[in-house]
Structure 1
């Protein structure tokens, strides 16, 4: 991990200031950790497939703990878990009556955890996601999407969030509809696309052009999240960075995507018959998981490319976020438990280790 100078904005006493998103971006890099859907599914609190964040109401303590872990690891933001807490998803599971309570409770919970860090307060962000129903040739779906975005944005603003995130859009116009709803609140908006394997958004618009349009319409930050891993997201990010004059966001998935398999949807693992068609998404992606050193290297590379809003999406875990924060020169609460392999019983170098530890290491 690199030893860059610390770009963490703090006052003279070493305490993080209470500045908002834009002020923090002016003076350094903002880390926004995500990955709630996959991690809470792995922990047994969320159902894969529907991916509705019922955990907000059913197991709030589990969600609060994950928020806590991400802040301790290095996230500057607690993102209220309202991703897929929209009307279409709740309709799908027959629980539309939980829509508003779920959104409001998620925002309350984010604030409650943020209050646990009074000397290093994270921002709290509201969150909107792709609707999965929008179609560019159907005005009815555009109206429905606008309605879903508007109610979630309003609840988030009423809940006192610092800014709003709209993410994982694969249609340019759907992202614009989300931005319209977020702009009505007067809060800064971060808008990011999930870039399909073709390299073009599904309404045949280049992602660079789509980001320019968002920036022109008032988005505070534009960029990419999800779908692509470290190597396959960078070329498009560099194109976006060159095309816009606002901060750029990069929140890839920590999976080893390739030029031949550029998204985690397209990864294949044909050696495991249990997968049927060989597609590991979304339940068998572990063999493709990136390690903490790859996460740190991505943070270095992205910052060198001029990208100042960093994070990880589906598949992220606290150790990835800690590695990214430390690559940016930061020391976070979880850094007190950073690895010290010098004291490992077999592979360590500490002179106080048992005299036969090298012999043990050679036989392992």
Structure 2
């Protein structure tokens, strides 16, 4: 495997040792738990319920994540402006980084800062380009002060916005993981084919390039071999754990005529439960992605700790959570353990 484009780093060392797992999905998981509001999806939970953020970090590490990613997704100036809470920008970012740093130091995991799509970027409007770069600079600056091992720039549909994020990270002299987000066709919003987009990111200094979010395992996996073949840096793949297909390549497009929430018939984002991948489907994806040459693996919106454990076990690992991996031989109805009562063994055979 090629060495990283930047200076030697803890991330680089980990990637030389083997695949790195990065658990994401904090927005969806904390929304499910009742600590974050769907819609704006701003992570005010960092300030309002910091213990819940810490616990989720710990659960993901327990399940096998090599990375603790500070929960600064959608914690940028534009998102906080939209909800009228600009004054929370710096304290929210600094607290998220502090929580993540404490968990990373305690577990030995890598510490990552995070920046993401601005929902403001317009490639034909230089003013928005300057605004977005300034937003990235301030978040990366706080991450650098917190001593992160690297910064993740993710969920970009525009290559040019991803390059702005990369430039901000490189200016801070930090390693960068940059991932693009595809909704429909496998091209950027500028209509650039994915392998070419990956080459441009790698040439600009990204240490890891790849894809995250929107596409599930079934519709992300076919894209990965071409990306691995296009660049000499490690490739990342972090799908959403939902059953997307050729007719519905992203989870925003998944349809259910019986879904009565908003919008009717389109269960994204709060009615996706029937489409959730099992832990076994996640394991299948992990093995296939590794075989394709992917070195940085994870899951995005919708991931739970059980998914991350399955990913780790598919790579041959035994994280602490593997102590509790299912042992169906002891199940009261379906088990085969001789210690089970004979009547129940017979009942199980009859089912």
Q: Sort the TM-score into its range (normalised by shorter chain).
A: over 0.9
Tell me if the contact between 2:259 and 2:267 (Cα under 8 Å) persists in the aligned partners: no
Aligned position for 2:270 = 283
Paired residue secondary structure (1:215): helix
Q: Which residue of the other structure, out of 131, 148, 170, is the alignment partner of 1:161?
A: 148
- The question of 1:39 aligning with 2:29 is answered yes
- 1:206 and 1:253, CA in 2 relative to 1: closer, same or farther beyond 3 A? same
- In structure 1, what is the equivalent of residue 100 of structure 2? 110
Q: Is the 8 A contact 1:146 1:178 kept in 2?
A: yes
Q: Please, which moves more after superposition, 133-142 or 196-205? A: 196-205
Instruction: Quote the offset at 1:202 in angstroms.
Output: 1.3
Q: Does 1:63 align with 2:53?
A: yes
Shift of 1:205: 1.4
* Distance in 1 separating the partners of 2:260 and 2:35: 27
> Partner residue of 2:4?
none
1:214 aligns with 2:204: no
Q: 2:259·2:266 contact (CA, 8 Å) conserved in 1?
A: no
Partner residue, 1:88? 78
Map 1:198-213; keep pairs closer than 5 Å. Answer: 198-213=185-200
- Once superposed, what is the RMSD of the aligned Cα atoms? 1.2
Tell me the distance in 1 between the aligned counterparts of 2:186 and 2:247: 12
What is the alpha-carbon distance in structure 2 between the residues aligned to residue 265 and residue 114 of structure 1?
A: 32
Q: Which residue of 1 aligns with 2:42?
A: 52
1:298-351 alpha-carbon deviations (Å, 9 max, x no partner)? 111111100000000000000110011011111111111111111100000001
Tell me by how many angstroms 1:204 deviates: 1.4
> 1:194 is matched with which residue: 172, 176, 181?
181
Q: Is the 8 A contact 1:208 1:236 kept in 2?
A: no
| Stretches of 4+ aligned residues off by more than 6 angstroms | none
The alignment status of 1:30 with 2:20, answered yes or no, reads yes
Work out the CA distance in 2 between the residues paired with 1:95 and 1:155: 18
Q: 1:335 aligns with which of 315, 322, 327?
A: 322
Shift of 1:359: 3.9
1:125 is paired with a residue whose SS is strand
Preserved CA contact (<8 Å) 1:195 1:207 = no
Q: Report SS of the residue matched to 1:116.
A: helix
TM-score when scaled to structure 2? 0.96
Question: Quick one: distance in 1 between partners of 2:176 and 2:186?
Answer: 24
| Conserved? CA contact 1:108–1:159, under 8 Å | yes
* Matched positions, count: 343
| Partner Cα distance (2:100, 2:260) in 1 | 41
Q: Secondary structure at the match of 2:342?
A: coil
